Amino acid sequence: MTAFRIRAPDAESVELCLFAADEAETRLAMVRDGADWVLDAPSAGPGTRYGYRAAGPFAPEQGLRFDPAKLLVDPFAVELDRRFVYDPALGTLGADTAALVPKAIVPAQAPPVEPAPPRFVLGGLIYEASVRALTMLHPEVPPHQRGTVAAIAHPAIIAHLRKLHVTAIELMPITAAIDERHLPRLGLTNAWGYNPVVPMALDPGLCPGGVAELRTAVAALHEAGIGVILDLVFNHTGESDVFGPTLSFRGLDNRGIYAHDGAGHLINDTGCGNTLDFAQPHVRALTLATLRHFVQACGIDGFRFDLAPVLARSPGFAPDAPIFAEIAADPVLADRILIAEPWDIGPGGYQLGAFPPNWLEWNDRYRDDIRRFWRGEADVGLLATRLAGSSDLFGPVTRSVNFVAAHDGFTLADTVAFAERHNWANGEENRDGHAGEPAWNNGHEGPVDDPAILARRAADARALLGTLFASTGTVMRTAGDEFGRTQGGNNNAYCQDNALTWLDWTGRDIALEDHVAALAEWRATHAGWFDEFPREGAWLNLAGQPMTIAEWEDPATAGLAYCSLDPARPYKFCIDRVARTACLKG
């Protein structure tokens, strides 16, 4: 027997729908219990496939969008029988969708993982990766395993991570997502997964073995000393705007899940059509339940939160929002690694530096300022501030996640080979993606055979990496940047699930990879040093003399050096924009 419970406070009736192997549907009326509906189903044991139907008013002006023709996925589902596939009928009033919507699966209860302290230390190295992009073309990964969560635990992948001294791998979304409705007609799919439907259910295409597959992969990575961070999307769902599909929340509790304005219109602080309403306790409760599930069922070490200001909107961003205290007070979650992408597109949405002291934050100011320095624009004073942990943003104890390239934007190789975005393959006439991303092409846009230009690009890439590894804070790199991956100048490749984004393991730049490994080893020998900028040290000019005020203020100053004066941990780095070098010693 399985006890079913679903929240639908405005519904007039709710049915539990059980599905047989031949897709025959049995509907059972549920009983109201306050805001919830409940039913004990003796015939529904582990492995049973199910969904819900809810009936009630269709009154969009009141935020009510009930349609009993729609099969609805359980918001607490942890496994689905197949992937989501977009179809216009999913958003058509009165069109039955039982044949289109994945069914949730009643899970077997596995013993929880005993949570261990997170496998991560401040100042460590995070390796951001898409499961498919990382493994689809790896020659040593068995073909049947490529593109899945199991593949990230393959010995060849783990050996690569260990070579790079990776502290934790950060997996781009692996929960079930749906394509944006404009992509199928373009022959494209969402490659990144930032369009989820329900928060806990793993995508059957990425994780066909479900929770057990993720748990096994995490255990293998832990055995190798590598933590696992999940990138989760709690800011919107793939139900999109009012023209989007009805898949779960919209058909159960539309006005209780999504933020609306006074006229009943969806608030779009995410740019994705809807925004989860974290002023509602039940939204926060589902979020915490999701985080606990991934820790207790799979041993996850931490989480990166996409468009994280949404978590603290009620409706404006609040640094003391309830979600922060609730996570901090939770005995399962209190010690997990928490990373914010500290911006959304809503009013006051840029909140870099405003998250709680125990949260790390993606630092796009670091990325842009470091790039601008090497492009010849930012001065050495700003460079030094970023190297020293961005105290202007975080205070004396840095929480910065430093990066020079991420999944969103140019790759590292493309940063020094393209001055403009080249997103024509995305089908939006090159209008999508960031138009003003700091980048430069070293004299020629895109691919070139000129040895001099290629040498400058190689030097610039190494200089950016050397600067990154010399910086105080946590380092993040995106998979493949260590060996020169390119996306042909596409800086918004979210819909390119193909060779444009899949890592080319056979054609990789081994010399660059070895250079990155040496930088990582250098930093690893100073473990614990780069979570706080050393107090005992000296800024020097490129002649090895103490920097003068005039040199700090002169925009023409081409570089600097820093020398630790701690005899127990001596080191030095030297950054020279003219010579295109960032050298680390000690």
Q: Is 302 helix (H, G, I), strand (E, B) or coil?
A: strand
Quickly count: other Cβ atoms within 10 Å of residue 350's Cβ: 14
* 409-to-111, 129, 359, 367, 421 alpha-carbon distances in Å: 41, 14, 23, 11, 9
**Strand pairing report for 537-540 and 559-564:** antiparallel
Annotated active-site residue 341? The verdict is yes
According to the 3-state scheme, what is the secondary structure of 20-82?
A: CCCCCEEEEECEEECCEEEEEECCCCCCCEEEEEEECCEEHHHCEECCCCCCECCCCCCCECC
Here the tokens at position 313 are 């909107």
- Helices 380-387 and 451-470: angle between axes, nearest 10 degrees: 50
Here the tokens at position 382 are 């700003």
61: closest CA among 266, 239, 207, 259?
266
Residue entry with tokens 């799919």: 189
- For 217-223, which contacts have Cβ atoms below 8 Å and span 24 or more sequence positions? 217/149, 217/150, 217/152, 217/153, 218/298, 218/299, 218/300, 219/299, 220/153, 220/158, 221/119, 221/152, 221/153, 221/158, 221/161, 221/169, 222/116, 222/119, 222/299
Annotated active-site residue 33? The verdict is no
The torsion region of residue 264 among left (phi > 0), alpha (psi -120 to 50) and beta comes to: left
Using CB atoms within 10 Å of the CB of residue 415, give its burial: 0 to 12 exposed, 13 to 18 middle, 19+ buried. Answer: buried
Quickly count: other Cβ atoms within 10 Å of residue 19's Cβ: 18
User: Pick the catalytic residue: 79, 213, 231, 341?
Assistant: 341
- For 555-561, which contacts have Cβ atoms below 8 Å and span 24 or more sequence positions? 555/379, 557/379, 557/380, 559/380, 560/380, 560/383, 560/384
Here the tokens at position 305 are 């939160």
Collect all residues with Cβ–Cβ distance below 8 Å to 160 and sequence separation of at least 6: none
User: Pick the catalytic residue: 239, 306, 513, 531?
Assistant: 306
Phi, psi of 508 (to 5 degrees): -75, 155
CA gap 415, 465 in Å, rounded: 12
Residues that are catalytic: 306, 341
